[in-house]
Amino acid sequence: MQSASGTPHRHRHVYGLLMAGLGSILFSGKAILIKLAFTHGANAETLIALRMLMALPLFWGIYWWQASKQKMIPLGWRDQVKIFALGFVGYFFSSYLDFLGLQYISVGLERIVLYLTPTVVLLVSYFVLNKPISRLQWYALAIGYLGVIVVFIQDASSTGSMALLGMLLVFASACSYAIYMIGSGEMVRRVGSVRLVVYASSASALFSVIQILIYDPAAVFAQPQQIYWLSLINASLCTVVPMLLIMIAINRIGSPLVAQAGILGPVSTLFMGWLVLSEPITWIQIGGMGLVIGAMWLLVRNDAPNKLKGQNPTRPLDLEGSDPLN
């Protein structure tokens, strides 16, 4: 009886891990597609507008499907304003900085820097919100940033002096999304993750349209065919689909295990960059990536007992891996 009852649970666990891993890999493919789009002459402003405009109907399709299954509580104007602001900071501005940074660095370094987002949440929680950080978390922070420095040195040797600008832009993207993670913690519980993502992405799409109208209104309609196909794949397979996979995985196995499965993200990006973009893989890169992954594993290990006790003083990993736009 115990074996029979345990089998569905094991299957649920395995499927959850597979969904989390696949979602992380698909998320990481975004950087590959953006790099390919740059080779066809597209710019960051056009790419982010196309991505958001193509993803928006898919997001709202998910929302209407969710609304048909459960009643949505109407939101007050304060919540709407807050979600609008979160959409700007966490989705539009963060994604735009990331797109800009990808012009100057490899996809491997970009994904590793973004993978540090939970450490940024941890630091903001400590310095701004006066939340405690354990000794183990400090060790994880030091190891993680050391790993990024190692990979950056390797990247700078092959991409030149602009690598520093690219890394800073991507790190600013991680900081912007970290602010979103902290600000959305309460909103997720009250509004629901699906509605928060849909509303915030809608705000991001609006900002993207305003930006491209100011920058070059005709650019959205004057791109080569390859740009539209790459943007469609980016919006669907690398944005909406992984979002669903990650959300289902969190429901099945919890965010700590989803965060651990997220390790596949930077690893897969490194090898996809080598396979698709001919970006070199060196032992220095692998070593630096190993340090970053080890640091994130320490954070997850430290975070899991807090969740089991119902306590989470810094909330560094609650939304790890759930970002549909980064």
pLDDT, one tens digit per residue, over 241-281 is 998 898 888 878 877 778 778 888 888 999 999 999 999 88
Residue 297 banded pLDDT, cuts 50, 70, 90: confident
Domain that holds residue 39: 2-308
Q: What is the pLDDT of residue 300?
A: 72
d(CA 143, CA 80): 39
In this predicted structure, the answer to whether residue 324 has a pLDDT above a threshold of 70 is no
Sign of the torsion formed by the C-alpha atoms of 208, 209, 215 and 217: positive
User: Does the reported pTM lie above 0.75?
Assistant: yes
d(CA 60, CA 184): 19
- Most confident range (mean pLDDT) of 233-247, 258-272, 294-308, 311-325 is 233-247
For residue 71, what is the DSSP state?
P
68 inside domain: yes
254 inside domain: yes
164 inside domain: yes
Count of domains for the chain: 1
pLDDT, one tens digit per residue, over 90-107 is 999 999 999 999 999 999
178 inside domain: yes
pLDDT, one tens digit per residue, over 121-180 is 889 888 888 888 888 889 989 999 999 999 998 888 877 778 999 999 999 999 999 999
Residue 314 banded pLDDT, cuts 50, 70, 90: very low
Q: What is the pLDDT of residue 1?
A: 45
199 inside domain: yes
Residues 6+ positions from 299 with CB-CB distance below 8 Å: 118, 119, 122, 137, 140, 259, 316, 317
Residues 6+ positions from 255 with CB-CB distance below 8 Å: 307, 317, 318, 319, 320, 321, 322
293 inside domain: yes
132 inside domain: yes
Please give the mean pLDDT across all residues of the chain. 85
Higher model confidence: residue 305 or residue 270? Answer: 270
